[in-house]
Amino acid sequence: MPNFIVKANSREDWYVVWSTISNSPLNWGTRSKLEDGYRDTPEFVNPERFRRANINGTSMRDDNWFGWNDKIFLVGSNWELKRSDLKAFCEAIEVASDISDSSEALKYLTPTNKDSYF
């Protein structure tokens, strides 16, 4: 599954594993939490990926995508999420008992005003 690591902000040990298929967060937390959670797929949490995320804001080799200068992320195909709300959004998803109980997370999203990002 194609994914990369995003660092929410430069001052905190907190990361998101972002899916390029669903264009949304897959998992999140501290580096040690992610390393523990991906023990069976260590390539997802390769130290080099964290190094790039710490430097560029993203583990993608092309830091034009989700790098420190990218202040808004596309979620799914119709929603925008501010980088500054990334942690709160993920934590709200975690608290929700299921997708129908995700109103807290939805408050961080705004409908995209673009026809297409691609």
Task: Could you list the beta-strand ranges (E) of the chain.
Answer: 3-7, 15-19, 24-29, 72-75, 79-82, 109-111
Residue-range definition of the domain harbouring residue 9: 3-111
Q: Classify residue 116: in a domain, yes or no.
A: no
- Cβ–Cβ under 8 Å, residues 45 and 38: yes
If one counts the domains in the chain, the total is 1
Q: Read off the pLDDT of residues 35-81 as tens digits, 9 standing for 90 and up.
A: 999 989 888 889 999 999 999 999 998 767 899 999 999 998 889 99
Q: Classify residue 55: in a domain, yes or no.
A: yes
Predicted model pTM = 0.85
Amino acid at 91: E
Q: Read off the pLDDT of residues 14-41 as tens digits, 9 standing for 90 and up.
A: 999 999 898 999 999 999 999 999 989 8
Strand duo 15-19 + 109-111: pairing: unpaired
Q: Classify residue 28: in a domain, yes or no.
A: yes
